[in-house]
């Protein structure tokens, strides 16, 4: 997150059906890098709003980079099985 200057704005809590809501200005959403889904946690005197991090987020890109860099093949060539630990410690 690259927030150079922290913004603070006043806002009104509005009624939305049986609930209440808050309009968050686009500029704040963009600076905080928030999208459609957020996590809201209560805190004494306020709320904390955070982006939801998805499990395994970014894995596809990481695997593509590993394939492109041929890293997996180099690792498998460097490691031989069984190794010393397998022979001395492991019970088959």
Q: What is the pLDDT of residue 56?
A: 82
Q: What is the pLDDT of residue 92?
A: 66
Domains of the chain: 14-51 (2.10.260), 59-88 (no CATH)
Instruction: Evaluate if residue 3 carries a pLDDT over 60.
Output: no
Q: How far is CA 6 from the centre of its chain?
A: 21
Residue 12 structure tokens: 């009104």
Q: What is the pLDDT of residue 2?
A: 53
Q: What is the pLDDT of residue 48?
A: 93
Q: What is the pLDDT of residue 54?
A: 76
Q: What is the pLDDT of residue 8?
A: 78
Residues 34, 52: Cα–Cα separation, whole Å: 9
Alpha-carbon Rg for the chain, nearest whole angstrom, is 24
Burial class (CB in 10 A: 0-12, 13-18, 19+), 89: exposed
Closest CA to 32 of 49, 47, 45: 49
Higher-pLDDT residue of 88 and 51 is: 51
pLDDT in tens, 15-66: 999 999 999 888 888 888 888 889 999 999 999 999 888 778 888 888 888 7
């Amino acid at each position: 997150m690259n927030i150079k200057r922290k913004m603070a704005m006043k806002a009104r809590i509005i009624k939305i059906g049986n609930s209440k809501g808050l309009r968050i200005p686009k500029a704040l959403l963009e600076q905080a890098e928030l999208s459609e889904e957020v996590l809201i946690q209560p805190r004494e005197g306020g709320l904390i709003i955070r982006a939801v991090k998805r499990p395994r987020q970014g894995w596809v890109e990481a695997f593509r980079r590993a394939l492109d860099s041929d890293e997996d093949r180099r690792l498998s060539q460097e490691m031989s099985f069984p190794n010393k630990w397998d022979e001395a410690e492991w019970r088959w």
